[in-house]
A and B are shown apart, each in its own frame.
Chain A
Amino acid sequence: MSVRTLRIDGRDVASADDATVLEAARDAGVVIPTLCHLEGLSPVAACRLCLVEIEGSAKLQPACITPVSEGMVVHTATPRLQEIRRTVIELLFTEGNHVCAVCVANGHCELQDRAVEVGMDHARLPYRFPDRPVDLSHPRFGLDHNRCILCSRCVRVCDEVEGAHVWDVAWRGEHCRIIAGLDQPWGAVDACTDCGKCVMVCPTGALFHKGDSEGEKHEDPSRLAALLRARHARQEAP
């Protein structure tokens, strides 16, 4: 492994050659907001919140999947990026039905946290109020499509970590949604082991423990990384 040197927001940064811009920035203490990214899962760059400017590139690049390169000059917080981030969050809020006041994740929601961080005090875009169902067919968990931001963390954790591959992303555009099995009620999918990892990593109140009331979902998605490190350490042990 060799080292790459680059500049992030005027700071000289050295990082491993296989690092992403996001990892290099975090190591250097530069905060880039993310939503779909979660340490321990493969990156997909679905949410576009982590977009950064890279000198010499006309296109904005998602920091979570862009590899570092030698001499790269990165800007993470220009006014243009801040405006885009706020718009991304507004799009997520107006696209679904995020009624924080009655949500199980109220006060413990990454979407809510990001909205505060990007300074979204109101939505400048019209709300769509889509008509979306809630799936309570699983004996222990529920899925509220109204609160799903299609980050696909659940899809990845169930496939990559639990190995059950219950979830997929189906359909396109405004019809795009998470499906269980072959678009079955979650409770009808035998592959599910009831492990709850998807609930743990979901950044919003879309996946939740059945019976939870407002603000009662206190999951910590970063536990996944700790869990994987522990598992890894055990496998490495003689």
Chain B
Amino acid sequence: MTRTILIDPVTRIEGHAKISIHLDASGAVISAHFHVGEFRGFEAFCVGRPFSEMASITARICGICPVSHLLAAAKTGDQLLVVTIPPAAERLRRLMNLAQIIQSHALSFFHLSSPDFLLGWDSDPAQRNVFGLIAADPELARGGIRLRQFGQAVIERLGGRKIHPAWAVPGGVRSPLQPADRDWIRSRLSEAVATTRGALDLFKRLLDGPLVTEAAVFGDFPSLFMGLVGPDGRWEHYGGRLRLIDSTGALVTAELPTDGLSAVQLGGLLAEAVDPSTYLKFPYYKPLGPEAGSYRVGPLARLNVCERIGHEQADRELLELRQRGGRVVTSSFLYHLARLIEILAALEAIEALLDDPALCDTHVRAHAGVNAREAVGVSEAPRGTLFHHYRVDSDGLIEAVNLIIATGQNNRAMNRTITQIARQYIQAGPAVAGVPEIAEGLLNRVEAGIRCFDPCLSCSTHAAGQMPLHVQLIGPEGELLRERWRE
């Protein structure tokens, strides 16, 4: 006999997700599941369209990380044209991806997650948001806001528009970088580095003190990790090779080069499980099956798979991270720390790119017709490895599309994380007539558990930084025992 607790975020216009926690008759948590009810059917929508439109279609359909889809679509397009893009174009795409990593991680850390760490899990929910943060720690809050703006401004200067810059195209990019914009970016770097350093120092202090429990309870379990690595196993976000390791750090399979990665290779590596209760697909490492083959992607995975970052300050932080969590860090709570380290890495990588004389070269686009009928494009979105896979007809009209997104790949890990959290905080909490209370602190922690992965659902970036939740407690016979809404 089992009972189910449902935590169901109220649907705003764009998205819908809920959490169900399954209890046995004794009230012990069996498992917890994160369901995504959001369905956009964009794979079908793309059929019959020119592949050159995929960048803007996917960037708009998945509005939370348009730049990542833009880059993955452009890279898939490169492979359909079978061209090597001009060197400046690759550097500029890298620059845009780094800016996207900075702005996305800054949003996740400063706006969405840090209010929990700094204001306390059980603090007034009306205050536990970015506004409360501004009141409590104005310097940190302002720094975080400016850091995000910096990332957005770089994207804007490259793509000409903050939202949905259809600027990366098959064959390269649409416009070169102006030297004046390069100089502007350079002038803003030191402030961004200082903000990031400050946040890192603060967060590490919290990890050693008030957040010790969270680091242990928020999804600490062994799993596989996947991410891109560059030459000599260096941290990578745009190309290089795809690496899959286990939690001892051993390679699970031979690395695959992303350049020219074939659909057959991808099909041999990953399979996708479908669960009727959610629209997210669950990709897993095929040879090991859905359980043992489940893996994590994203900032922590990228830091786990790499040997080193290749930039001085970020490498020092990586070393400290490994001293804290082991060579392969398995606590999902440390995704937050990984995010800050990646911001630092991205800032240092931008600095290095700005010194590259080829960056402002004006030859940025290669032109060609359709020379391949099927292609896979891979890049690292802030949230994790992103795959676009297209099949086209001889004219370049899309016949089939499959996208493998970070939130899908992390879905199983999110379930394990909220299961762990529910075990810790439901049983410990009060009960009335044998039915556990749905305390505010539980909601917050479950929400925070999901946020470790920064899932790309519109509800996860809800305006004030708090997910609207609907909680249902359902008894063994399916009867509603308790219900709680949080708008």
Pick out which of these stretches binds chain B: A68-76, A168-176, A213-221: A213-221
Cβ contacts under 8 Å, B49 to chain A: 134
Of B57, B60, B164, B396, which is within 8 A of A210 by CB?
B396
* Interface size grouping (class) on chain B: 20 to 34
Is the beta-carbon distance between A213 and B48 smaller than 8 angstroms? no
The segment from A6-14, A33-41, A113-121, A135-143 found at the interface with B is A135-143
A136 adjacent to B166 (CB under 8 Å): no
Query: Could you give, for residues 119-151 of chain A, a 1 whenever the CB lies within 8 Å of some chain B CB and a 0 otherwise?
Result: 000000000000001111101001010000000
How far, in whole Å, are A102 and B367 apart by their CA atoms in the complex?
20
Judge whether B369 is part of the interface by a CB distance below 8 angstroms: yes
Chain A residues contacting B137 (CB-CB under 8 Å) are none
Per-residue CB contact flags for chain B residues 365-407 toward chain A (1 = under 8 Å, else 0) read 0010100000000000000000000000001110000000000
CB distance from B425 to the nearest CB of A (A): 43
B48 touching A212, Cβ below 8 Å: no
**What CA separation (Å) do A136 and B367 show in the bound complex?**
16
Contacts of A139 in B (CB 8 A): 369
Task: Tell me if B23 counts as interface (CB < 8 A to partner A).
Answer: no
Contact between B50 and A134, CB atoms less than 8 A apart: yes
Do A211 and B52 touch across chains, with their CB atoms under 8 A apart? yes
Residue ID in chain B nearest A142 by CB atoms? B50
- In the bound complex, CA of A133 to CA of B398 (Å): 12
Q: Out of A102, A144, A216, which one reaches B57, CB within 8 Å?
A: A102
Is B448 an interface residue when CB atoms closer than 8 A count as contact?
Answer: no
For A216, what are the chain B residues with a Cβ–Cβ distance below 8 Å?
Answer: 166, 174
Q: Which residues of B contact A144 (CB under 8 A)?
A: 50
Closest to A215 in B: B166
- Would you call A136 and B53 a contact (CB within 8 A)? no
Q: How many residues of A contact B (CB 8 A)?
A: 18
Q: Check A136–B397 contact: CB distance below 8 A.
A: yes
Are B50 and A101 in contact, with the CB atoms below 8 A? no
How far, in angstroms, from A215 to B49 measured CA to CA in the complex?
A: 16
Asked if A137 and B60 make an inter-chain contact with CB atoms under 8 angstroms apart, the answer reads: no
- A interface footprint on B81-115 (CB within 8 Å = 1, 0 otherwise): 00000000000000000000000000000000000
For B396, the chain A residues whose CB sits under 8 A away are 136, 210
Minimum CB–CB distance from A6 to chain B (whole Å) comes to 46
B410 at the interface (CB under 8 A from A): no
Query: Does B397 contact A213, Cβ atoms closer than 8 Å?
Result: no
Alpha-carbon gap, A102 to B73, bound state (A) = 14
Given known pairs A133-B48, A134-B48, A142-B50, the reply for A211 and B57 (CB within 8 Å) is: no
In the complex the two chains form, is A102's CB within 8 Å of B56's CB? yes
B459 within 8 A of A: no
Verify A214–B395 contact, CB threshold 8 A: no
Q: Which B residues are in CB contact (< 8 Å) with A142? A: 50
Which residues on A sit within 8 Å (CB–CB) of B57?
A: 102
Q: Of B55, B60, B369, which contacts A213 at CB under 8 A?
A: B55
Instruction: State whether A136 and B395 are in contact (beta carbons under 8 Å apart), knowing that A142-B50, A211-B367 are contacts in the complex.
Output: yes
Residues from chain A with Cβ under 8 Å of B397 in the complex: 134, 136
**Residue in chain A with minimal CB distance to B171:** A211
For residue A188, give the distance in angstroms from its CB to the closest CB of chain B: 12
In whole angstroms, what is the CA distance A135 to B170 when docked? 19
A210-B50 in contact (CB<8A): yes
For this complex, 12 residue pairs linking A to B, each with C-beta atoms less than 8 Å apart, are A102-B53, A102-B57, A133-B48, A134-B50, A134-B397, A136-B395, A136-B396, A187-B395, A210-B50, A210-B52, A210-B396, A212-B52
Pairs of residues from A and B, 10 with the lowest C-beta to C-beta distance, nearest first? A136-B395, A214-B166, A214-B56, A102-B56, A213-B169, A213-B166, A102-B57, A211-B52, A101-B60, A136-B396
Q: A133-B48, A211-B169, A212-B52 are in contact. List 11 more A-B contacts (CB 8 A).
A: A101-B60, A102-B53, A102-B57, A144-B50, A187-B395, A210-B52, A213-B166, A214-B53, A214-B56, A214-B166, A216-B166
